[in-house]
Structure 1
């Protein structure tokens, strides 16, 4: 009796060349993965990256797509005003999630409403503002939960640009190197995982307005600065309380355009329901710094020389004094030149006194001789 095979006939799946190529690419890429590391030749790295578009300038060369950027300034200089202004412009093209940990909804409303005219600023619909729900805060694992919530919120609304105001709510112990390092690694992880662009707003300790703004003015551990892709700061003009200036501190993508010789000068303008930074001009930072009086200058130079005599390096002195290394170098030269000039003056004074003393002794000797001769007669 002839046996029959009752196994149902299955039609072979149709060959898809695109899928096959994709699978082969994934196989090759995965074969070069060792733990957390993916290994490629430098040439292959360049070829692969060249297939992707270049990062887009998000806001006037201060922040680019795919960057973790930092904006810092002293209190009450308008950090949040400037950040909202950035979000307002970026949101004309894409969704922006602004995580506002600073202002209540009423405080936010008052900034963008003119009670005299009844006008209010109309933000793009892509501008999405989030604020903390006080009842949902839990002290346990607060920072970790905050990260999880931000990630979930951005994914829920489809935002790829996130602004967090401010750093304190994300990292309470940013001055500790290990904590700051872990915090920045989490931010970098979000950036790489989703291709997001993140702007973190931070504070600076009270600074000397006679000195230019440097990386040392960013509050917290140095690890924060080292991990950020780009950093810019807002300074207050010493010649006019209404003026602010923006200076680039760190740049990785794009051009280093707004350094100490070319800061962007703004005036804070309430407008008609839109509190914002009104661009006025470009100028050198030195035009907006407070002039040092002689006592301040002497004290600073004395402190620098004392630190140098203690064996501190120029880098260490710069960190301690809140100055750039080049500024410390100039101050050292000035202090040494002043000390040399003072030594020369002291030497000249001593020599002059010696000459006067010798002349007085010679005069006394002459007088004594004359008197002796008179007595002989």
Structure 2
């Protein structure tokens, strides 16, 4: 049998399977639910490929993943490095890559083209050559909101689909979510953003990495999902999440920690974080993998005098009738710590 004929037969079978699947889906609908026997779900899932690693166990194919950290810790540096790895098919040292080169769109709402150039050159000369699969995008400075869109957020969401369709990208990186909606700490707004990204993932079969900030936090505490701005809704809607922590030991040391995962066990936890150094050995600013460590080794240790100063601030702010939540936010500590210190002092 010729390859052309064999390919045609496969297309017919695939088309038939899809038609049957759509028909079954209609028959199994119950309001907003699709109801099928558990074994049917598994049989259908068997036909889809097993998710492969895009950046070690931190991010898999077909996931909406969140990477979050404090300002100026290196989110964009790592995100561009991941994009370069996926677009070229070259794994980052210390982390697995299980896919062939994929076309990727990096939506950069952080850096100007000149700032981007500086990071990937040697004093604006000897520039790094990215793979042609790597597409970078900035917001149009002359943007005018078309009449058919009520808000800039609506137009941005429409533009995501346009980029995916016109450029045939398989991976989308958004740097960062704050630009999509300045009120993403509000549950309603966060859920709208994430639900749209999940719809994009399902509709186009793509993988999405979203960068996000942490609000002011206490650097002596371990990283958790609560450190993500708008954490509750964002965490509920994403498939996976990981964070970058800044080490108190050396200014250029960072560590990576898994916060949420669905396609793997939790590999990078409190006692097993991936430790890296921010470096620029040539014309590419990057995270240089060092090894594995414990998060506690990189947290700032609180001295007794620091605790006394912190407690004094808590008590002073409480005298001003400021709510515990606002005190916690202002001092970068948990509301529980505020409550416990006030209780102990009363």
TM-score, length-normalised on structure 1? 0.74
Q: Does 1:268 align with 2:278?
A: yes
Deviations 1:28-64 (A, max 9, x none): 2321123432221111111110121111111111101
- Alpha carbons of 1:222 and 1:128: their partners in 2 closer, same or farther (altered >3 Å)? same
Seen in structure 2, the aligned counterparts of structure 1 residues 222 and 272 have a Cα distance that, compared at 3 Å, is: same
Which runs of structure 2 are paired with 1:49-88 in the superposition (5 Å)? 49-88=45-84
Tell whether the 8 Å contact from 1:119 to 1:272 is kept in structure 2 after alignment: no
**Other structure's SS at 1:261 match:** coil
Provide closer, same or farther for how the CA distance between residues 21 and 59 of structure 1 changes in structure 2, counting only shifts above 3 A.
Answer: closer
After TM superposition, the structure 1 stretch with the greater mean CA deviation from structure 2, 291-300 or 253-262, is: 291-300
- State the Cα distance separating 1:79 from its structure 2 match: 0.7
2:104 counterpart residue number: 96
Matching of residues 227-376 of structure 1 within 5 Å: 227-297=237-307
With over 3 angstroms needed to count, the CA separation of the structure-2 counterparts of 1:252 and 1:322, relative to structure 1, is farther
Provide the TM-score with structure 2 as the length reference: 0.80
Kindly state the Cα deviation for residue 298 of structure 1 after the two structures are TM-superposed. Answer: 5.9
- Distance (whole Å) between structure 2 residues aligned to residue 132 and residue 97 of structure 1: 13
Per the alignment, residue 163 of structure 2 pairs with 153
2:123 pairs with 1:127: no
Q: Hey, what's the Cα distance between the residues in 2 that align with 1:154 and 1:17?
A: 27
Q: What is the alpha-carbon distance in structure 2 between the residues aligned to residue 280 and residue 148 of structure 1? A: 41
Runs of 4+ that moved beyond 3 A: 16-26, 295-303, 318-325
Deviation larger for 153-162 or 131-140:
131-140
Q: 1:254 aligns to what SS in structure 2? A: coil
RMSD value over aligned CA atoms? Answer: 3.4
Structure with the bigger percentage of helix: 1
Q: Could you give the per-residue CA deviations for residues 55-105 of structure 1, whole angstroms, max 9, x where no partner exists? A: 111111110111111011111111100000000001121111101111111
Would the aligned equivalents of 1:212 and 1:323 in 2 still touch at CA under 8 Å? no
1:278 partner SS: strand
1:168-187 matches, within 5 Å, as 168-187=178-197
Question: Shift in Å at residue 319 of structure 1?
Answer: 9.9
Pick the structure with greater CA Rg: 1
Residue 301 of structure 1 and its aligned partner are, at CA, apart by: 8.6
Partner of 1:32: 28
Alpha-carbon distance in structure 2 between the residues aligned to 1:251 and 1:151: 26
Query: SS of the residue aligned with 2:54?
Result: coil
| Alpha carbons 2:63, 2:240 under 8 Å: kept | yes
Secondary structure of 1:187's counterpart equals helix
> Could you list the runs of 5+ residues in structure 2 that have no partner in the other structure?
1-10, 89-100, 319-327
Counterpart in the other structure of 1:193: 203
May I ask how many residue pairs the two structures share in their alignment? 312
Alpha-carbon distance in 2 for matches of 1:101, 1:207:
24
Asked if 1:107 is matched to 2:107, the reply is: no
Query: Is contact 1:88-1:123 (8 Å) kept?
Result: yes
Q: Distance in 2 between matches of 1:28 and 1:138?
A: 42
CA contact (8 A) 2:218 2:333 kept: no
Q: Unaligned 5+ residue runs, structure 1?
A: 1-15, 308-317, 340-377
